[in-house]
Structure 1
Amino acid sequence: MAIYNNQQSQNPLFQKVEQVRRRQGKIRDTYINLAHGSGGKAMRDLINDVFVKNFDNPILSQLEDQASFDLASLSQHGDRLAFTTDSYVVDPLFFPGSDIGELAINGTINDLAVSGAKPLYLSCSVILEEGLPVETLRRVVSSMQKAAQKAGIQIVTGDTKVVHRGCADKLFINTAGIGIIPANIDISPRNIQTGDVVVINGEIGNHGTAILIARGELELETNIESDCQSLHELVAEIIKTCPQIHAMRDATRGGLATVLNEFAVTANVGIRIHENAIPVKEQVNGVCEILGLDPLYLANEGKLVIVAPKEKAELILSTMKNYPTGKQASIIGEIIPTPPGIVLLKTAFGAERIVDMLVGDQLPRIC
């Protein structure tokens, strides 16, 4: 066999073929077309030039149909696997403070982190609309890699599909993520108890407001940016400080109000929050007043809602404030026995009103 290979390698035609095979593909088209999803050379060039070049790591470089992991190395981080998936269809793709690529990475990381897991690996599947500028895709993928690198995780497998013009809205991203939950960590709304307190790590409604303004449909001008950020480092430090966290969730679609309603229903308890204690940027309040929106329901992409024992509240608060992602942390409410399954807001005037689950959507396509 060695002699055969040596003979072949001396053949100029064989050498030329090998050079072509080894040469990494480069996409030369300006816009995505259906060939980029056909499974042939155009698709291979797109994957190599845009995705592999950006996401390159030892697992991804195998270019298998799946990513393989050593179970022994995973078990060093804990004793349970956390697995999540999400899809991102935000409009516009780029908005103040972030874009759909960073949003997809940070959103998936946060979904893992709120279980107490250490995020490790992500997948990335994209649905591209025919006619999407290739440069737009490059920007999004580059943003994804920067966010993943900053968070210390790897994108290890993925998929690409192209649909006809008009069958999608430029670009959709689906991600899945896995992480490992440390032993003896049990974070679930089922653990919530009367007397617990509710803590949030900062201002609400920035992401939803930034998206609304970025669409340019309203003649409003603000300097509000999305709060898109990964929270896993903050969560890890909080858990190290206080392993007794009862419940934790990131307030994305449906905002703070939806998360609290989910907690109240699952634990069959009441929750009272205090309007004066909830951090809201003045510009966000202004936009909400003009448009008749409620910041409690606006989307966030970097807000952590924690329910913990009252005696641990100040410890958690001080831990949060030591991190950039928690500088504006605040204790905003408490768990009460009645009415079960209901969230109450104590207003600035001392009255109380019910904060119900959002029906419909205040803002479409925000994440």
Structure 2
Amino acid sequence: MALRDTHVTLAHGGGGQAMRDLIDEVFASVFQPPGMEDQARLTAGALAEPGARLAFTTDSYVVTPLEFPGGDIGKLAICGTVNDLAVGGARPLWLSAAFIIEEGTEVALLRRIVATMAAEAAAADIRIVTGDTKVVGRGAADGLFVTTSGIGVIPPGRDIHAGAIRPGDVALVNGVLGDHGATILAARGDLALSADLKSDCAALGHLMEAVLAAAPGTRAARDATRGGVASVLNEMAQASRTGIVIDEATLPLREEVRGMCEILGLDPLYLANEGRLVLFVPEAEAPAALAAMRALPEGAGAVAIGRAVEAHPGQVRMTTAFGGSRIVDMLVGEQLPRIC
């Protein structure tokens, strides 16, 4: 083993032997990319299928703490990129991963995060094919930043987008809401909160494929990350020029999350999720879509939470537990920074 350092130093980003040792032993030995060139060369039979389209996405991850109940920054990076592809109907195939590492970061921590990424990528059937590593001085990166880009293929005939939503379509979610945001808040330890929570972080490519097989008329899907379900619903209402009505009584929330929000004055509809989709399907296909999700662990708690309507286009409203109605706006500002 050439890498003997226990912590990352600036030499590991200098382009010499120390950098080569870090890349070979921490990253390449685990990800096993095809060759070590400056680019990945991609081939897939799916690309030759008439009518197939490429989907491409990129995202950066700056969560604190880097490890938390239910995951770490590496799991977030893989799942987030897979989900961004999946909600557009794409089958994820390839992924790049770039790391900005702060001087002094423990090599053991890097190894744990890289192992998580490899396991999540394998489970999601996506391959990490290329990447980059940079080291910055102490205080310049808060430990570790990860940027991932993903490429997938949208099979012929799929056209899933928010503009396709029609009045009468049913809004579905695949499980309890707000777990990720509440878990990160508790894990930071600043507020002396104790809760038996873990992040909902999960790759949802297989779940999307199951939904599309059961409900081929699925109109749109979004993953409810920063800004939560409320912000995603507003984006979808505005894109489709329909109104959306949700029912407070149907929203799936853990009592721990509900209680934390009451104590801190937060609205759980705006808490981040990392393994939750909001889908709109035709009413006739809603039962099949729910059954398909509930058959998988990632969708065991799937429920219908509302529907699209002709009234108040571009606006989201919630029927409250008291029988009233209130507007659910887009998130203004940031409830909790450094969440993903």
Interval of TM-score (by shorter of Structure 1 and Structure 2): over 0.9
Is the aligned partner of 1:343 residue 2:316? Answer: yes
2:326 is equivalent to residue 353 of structure 1: yes
Aligned to 1:33: 9
Which residue of structure 2 aligns with residue 100 of structure 1?
73
Equivalence for 1:234: 207
| Equivalent position SS for 2:158 | coil
Map residues 299-314 of structure 1 onto 2, 5 A cutoff: 299-314=272-287
Residue of 299, 323, 326 corresponding to 1:326: 299
Q: Which residue of 2 aligns with 1:8?
A: none
Cα separation, 2, equivalents of 1:77 and 1:250: 28
After superposition, residues 1-367 of structure 1 pair within 5 angstroms as 26-56=2-32, 60-70=33-43, 72=45, 74-76=47-49, 79-367=52-340
Structure 2, unmatched stretches of 5+, are: none
Deviation at 1:75, TM superposition (A): 3.0
Q: How far apart are the structure 2 equivalents of 1:104 and 1:286?
A: 29
Deviations 1:102-156 (A, max 9, x none): 1110111011111111111110000001111111111111111111112222100
Kept in 2: contact 1:81–1:180 (CA 8 A): yes
Contact persistence 2:224–2:277 (CA under 8 A): yes
Contact kept in structure 2, 1:198 and 1:307, CA below 8 Å: yes
- Deviation, 1:320, is 1.1
TM-score (norm 2): 0.98
Q: Secondary structure at the match of 1:62?
A: coil
Hey, what's the Cα distance between the residues in 1 that align with 2:49 and 2:187? Answer: 44
> What is the letter of the counterpart of residue 139 of structure 2?
G
TM-superposition CA deviations, 1:241-294 (whole Å, max 9, x none): 111111101100000001000001111111000000110011000000000000
SS at match of 2:3: coil
Distance apart, 1:26 and its partner CA: 2.5
The answer to whether the 8 Å contact 1:77/1:181 transfers is no
1:265 corresponds to which letter in structure 2? Q
Q: Which deviations, in whole Å up to 9, do the C-alpha atoms of 1:183-230 show, x marking residues without a partner? A: 101000110111111011110000000000000001111111000011
Cα deviation, residue 43, structure 1: 0.7
- The alpha-carbon deviation at position 240 of structure 1 amounts to 1.0
Pairwise CA distance, 1:71: 5.1
The answer to whether the Cα contact below 8 Å between 1:245 and 1:306 also exists between their aligned partners in 2 is: yes
In 1, the alpha carbon distance for the partners of 2:247 and 2:51 equals 37
Q: What amino acid is aligned across from residue 8 of structure 2 in structure 1?
A: I
CA contact (8 A) 2:30 2:114 kept: yes
* Matched length: 340
Q: Deviations over 1:71-121 (max 9, x none)?
A: 545335970001100100000000011111111101110111111111111
On the 8 A contact 1:78/1:180 being kept in 2, the answer is no
**How big is the shift at 1:30?**
1.4
Per-residue CA deviation, residues 286-323 of structure 1 (Å, 9 max, x unaligned), is 00000000000000000011011111111111111111
Distance (Å, rounded) in 2 between the aligned partners of 1:340 and 1:172: 39
Contact persistence 2:46–2:153 (CA under 8 A):
no
- CA distance in 2: counterparts of 1:331 and 1:306, whole angstroms: 9
For residues 181 and 292 of structure 2, the distance between their equivalents in structure 1, rounded to whole angstroms, comes to 27
Q: Return the index of the structure with the highest Cα Rg.
A: 1
The 2-side partners of 1:268 and 1:80 are apart by 26
The secondary structure found in structure 1 opposite 2:135 is strand
Structure 1 Cα separation of the partners of residues 137 and 253 of structure 2: 42
- Preserved CA contact (<8 Å) 1:77 1:118: no
CA distance in structure 2 between the partners assigned to 1:312 and 1:72 by the alignment = 31
**Identical residues among aligned pairs (%):** 55
* Contact 1:211-1:366 at 8 Å conserved across structures: yes
Relative to structure 1, the CA distance from residue 37 to residue 223 in structure 2 (aligned partners, 3 Å threshold; closer, same or farther) is: same
Q: 1:245 to 1:45 in 2, by over 3 A?
A: same
Q: C-alpha separation between the residues in 1 aligned to 2:124 and 2:257?
A: 28
Q: CA deviation at 1:177?
A: 0.4
Q: Distance in 1 between matches of 2:319 and 2:149?
A: 38
